[in-house]
Amino acid sequence: MAVVFQKPKSLTDAVLHYCPGCTHGIVHRLVAEAIDELGIEGRTIGIAPVGCSVMAYDYFNCDMIEAAHGRAPAVATGVKRSMPDNIVFTYQGDGDLASIGLCETVSTACRGENITIIFINNAIYGMTGGQMAPTSLIGQVTQTSPYGRDAATQGMPIRVSELLATLEAPVYLERVAVNSVAHVRQAKKAILKAFKNQVEGKGFSLVEVLSTCPTNWGLTPQKACQFVEEKMMPFYPLGVFKDKS
């Protein structure tokens, strides 16, 4: 029988633990496809975050390192500086990258480390059960913003791609989404490019992926995809924020 669809080589056989409708699985696949297509599996080293994707180290077939919360860019820096010919990527959520690890994120981008960062923005802390994230929207109800995020007391959400675009060093910054087939296709292109930039020695690339969290948003998977389109995209517009590649 002809094979028409199969798992990328860069994913292990481990069964993903993600909730139904969560888009982590899609993004994992896109990352693995990019690694496969570039033929870099044997020299890729991934850094997993703390958050829902903490166990990404079991899912990617390349060598993997589990980092402390928010520190993945620093760990990636240490890896890349000691193994400059290897391909190094981090996979981080919004709490990890944009809150506790913001200093590491900005500083690593500022140095223009030749690494690739995949940034999952689902506007909520998933693993700990749905608390407010730095990227939670105004009015968004979470466990720690039960009356909706209030700008006066809880501040405004942070636009990471736009923030990093003010820096000189980053080579490529794009925000994509995975809530529709068309958007997934675009996300695939962006992720592939972010890895290709590194292979070509161009420098720091980050792809921000608007993702879903049906469980903690309290929405069905389908409605969650609509939420991305209708609520997130107006505040987090898709597009390329920097491209020097």
Exposure b/e, 96-118, CB count within 10 A at least 16 = b: bbbbebbebbbebbeebbbbbbb
Stretch that binds another protein, among 99-107, 131-139, 211-219, 231-239 (CB under 8 A): 99-107
- In this complex, which beta carbon is closest to another protein, that of residue 68 or of residue 151? 68
Q: Least distance in Å: CB of 91 to another protein? A: 14
- Which residues are CB-neighbours of 91 under 8 A, at least 6 positions away? 27, 31, 46, 47, 48, 49, 53, 56, 72, 118, 120
Contact pick of 7, 14, 103, 245 for another protein (by CB under 8 A): 103
- In this complex, which beta carbon is closest to another protein, that of residue 79 or of residue 192? 79
Q: Cβ(126)–Cβ(213) under 8 Å?
A: yes
Number of residues that bind another protein (CB under 8 A): 36
Under the binding rule (CB under 8 A), the answer on residue 104 touching another protein is yes
C-alpha atoms less than 13 angstroms from C-alpha of 22 in its C-beta half-sphere: 21
- In this complex, which beta carbon is closest to another protein, that of residue 12 or of residue 186? 12
Site string for another protein, 25-64 (x = CB under 8 A): ----------------xxxxx-x------xx-xx-xxxxx
- In this complex, which beta carbon is closest to another protein, that of residue 47 or of residue 137? 47
Under the binding rule (CB under 8 A), the answer on residue 79 touching another protein is yes
- In this complex, which beta carbon is closest to another protein, that of residue 80 or of residue 242? 80
- Beta strand extents in the chain (DSSP E only): 44-48, 63-66, 87-93, 116-121, 124-125, 131-132, 172-177, 205-210, 239-243
The strand pair at 63-66 and 116-121 is best described as unpaired
Binding site for another protein (CB under 8 A): 12, 41-45, 47, 54-55, 57-58, 60-68, 71, 74-83, 86, 103-104, 106-107
